[in-house]
Amino acid sequence: ARKEYGDRGLFINERVSEMVVQDQEPFDIILAVGLLHHLSDQEGEDLFRVGYNCLKPGGFMFTADNCYFKGQSPIARFISSKDRGQHVRYPEGYRKIALPVFKNVEVIIKHNMGRIPQTICILKCTKE
């Protein structure tokens, strides 16, 4: 990402449990797309803690991950079950990981946003 986008963003590639972000101004928005379903509950909570500590008051952390959802299409469920991520969850499972850190967590579910049938859980976490 650094090669392609240069200084148009901050790109960090570290284990979240060891991550220390220093010498940065607080962020307005943090995006973690396609990440949580690869992390254990503890690693996910660590990610939210790092994100929270890097946000300005009133800032947002957004996550987007494939999920299981009651009533989702069999094809979407199959695709999620074959993902390399070992921690695909139901929406409440993702929310539960964020709640120890963020008190304001909004869950947004999107179905079939692309060409592949898939259910996506978006979390919008607000730092108060």
Whole-prediction pTM: 0.87
- Quick one: tokens of 114? 């692309």
Identify the pLDDT of residue 24. 78
| DSSP string over 49-81 | HHHHHHEEEEEEEEEEEEB--TT--HHHHHHHH
Which range marks the domain in which residue 52 is found? 28-126
CATH code of the domain covering residue 92: 3.40.50.150
Give the total number of structural domains in the chain.
1
List the pLDDT tens digit at each of the 128 positions of the chain: 778 887 887 777 777 777 777 677 899 999 999 999 999 999 999 999 999 999 999 999 999 999 999 999 999 999 999 988 999 999 999 999 999 999 999 999 999 888 889 999 999 999 99
Identify the pLDDT of residue 9. 76
For β-strands 27-33 and 104-111, DSSP reports them as unpaired
> Buried (b) or exposed (e) across 75-99, using 16+ Cβ within 10 A?
ebbebbeeeeeebbbebebbbebbe
Residue 43 lies in a domain: yes
Residue 44 lies in a domain: yes
Residue 5 lies in a domain: no
Residue 82 lies in a domain: yes
- Quick one: tokens of 124? 């919008």
Identify the pLDDT of residue 18. 76
